[in-house]
Amino acid sequence: MSSPVPPVSPDDEREARAASPLPPEAHVLVVEDDGEMRTLIAKFLRQNGFRVTGARNGAEMWDTISLAPVDLVLLDVMLPGQSGLDLCRMLRAKSEVPIIMVTARGEEADRVVGLELGADDYLPKPFGRPELLARIRAVLRRAQVGAARSGLVTGNRMMFENWVLDTRRRELAAPDGSAVDLSSGEYDLLLAFCEHPQRVLTRDQLLDLARNRISESIDRSVDVMVSRLRRKLEPLPDSPAIIKTIRGAGYMFVPAVARQ
């Protein structure tokens, strides 16, 4: 069951932009069965600097989590099959990922159940976009503080074969220290490879992992982007050693990746 996100006013947009920033590329998983609602939320969050993946149900939620690290789950209570409350309980048993429950129910008892099951916050429908953004940012900030106190914060630099990908600045440095220009699509695809090194990834998986920037949802767009990356990363692009083609399967990022 869904209710629409209210239209955003110019004042709302100014308020959202004024909110304190978070490190770029936080990955939000939106679990919502209503396609229009899911699309509106995803578009708004992407406009505010988040990576977003949508899921219609619990099965798609688990598939996404198995493919890529998720920084926050926005989880609707009323879902087909397993309810959001059931998914919240199961997810919390496996992970400390922040969870915000989205519900049309206004009773205090329902909100308490979600929080007791492990949700970090709740958002009742209908809600405004500035409130959605503020709650996501607040929960992510609390998670960052908790991770820092536990010594769990991962570094912002991903290193492979003397290359350095700075995920905070979205910059790539070559082994000689020079900066390498990357388009948004090239950066997101390289980030997907670095997050899943030494593993065969299909074109569909790569499209899903880098969907925020690869605009054409067709296999060929991945091939074109990989070709561009090879020209920038590989000493011999026609005989690639970093991004290998696995015939009939997809691609593999060969180097080991370290974080610092």
Digits of tens for pLDDT over the chain (260 positions)? 444 454 444 444 444 444 444 445 689 999 999 999 999 999 999 999 898 999 999 999 998 888 778 889 999 988 988 888 899 989 888 888 899 998 876 656 667 777 888 888 888 888 889 999 999 998 888 877 655 444 444 557 889 999 999 887 889 999 999 999 988 788 889 998 998 899 999 988 888 777 544 444 444 578 888 999 999 999 998 999 999 999 999 999 999 988 87
- Do 204 and 130 share a structural domain? no
- Do 239 and 198 share a structural domain? yes
Q: What is the pLDDT of residue 109?
A: 66
Q: What is the pLDDT of residue 110?
A: 64
Distances (CA, A) of 202 to 177, 235, 247: 31, 24, 10
Rg of the chain taking only CA atoms, in angstroms: 19
Q: Which helix (H) or strand (E) holds 65?
A: helix 58-67
Q: What is the pLDDT of residue 150?
A: 43
- Stated pTM of the model: 0.55
Q: Would residue 5 count as lying in a domain?
A: no
Select from 129, 149, 169 the last residue of a domain.
149
- Do 164 and 125 share a structural domain? no
- Two structure tokens written together for 109: 């008892």
Q: What is the pLDDT of residue 95?
A: 81
- Do 126 and 234 share a structural domain? no
Q: What is the pLDDT of residue 169?
A: 81
Cis peptide before 126 (omega within 30 of 0): yes
CATH number, domain at 242? 1.10.10.10
Q: Would residue 2 count as lying in a domain?
A: no
Q: What is the pLDDT of residue 68?
A: 75
Helix ranges, 74-128 (H): 84-94, 108-116
Q: What is the pLDDT of residue 154?
A: 53
Could you tell me if 228 and 222 are in contact, meaning their C-beta atoms sit under 8 angstroms apart?
no
Q: Would residue 29 count as lying in a domain?
A: yes
Select from 149, 183, 211 the last residue of a domain.
149
- Do 134 and 250 share a structural domain? no
Supply the range of the domain harboring residue 123. Answer: 10-149
CA 47, CA 133: separation in Å to the nearest integer?
11
Q: What is the pLDDT of residue 106?
A: 61
CA 46, CA 182: separation in Å to the nearest integer?
19
Select from 126, 149, 172 the last residue of a domain.
149
Task: Count the domains in the chain.
Answer: 2
- Do 102 and 39 share a structural domain? yes
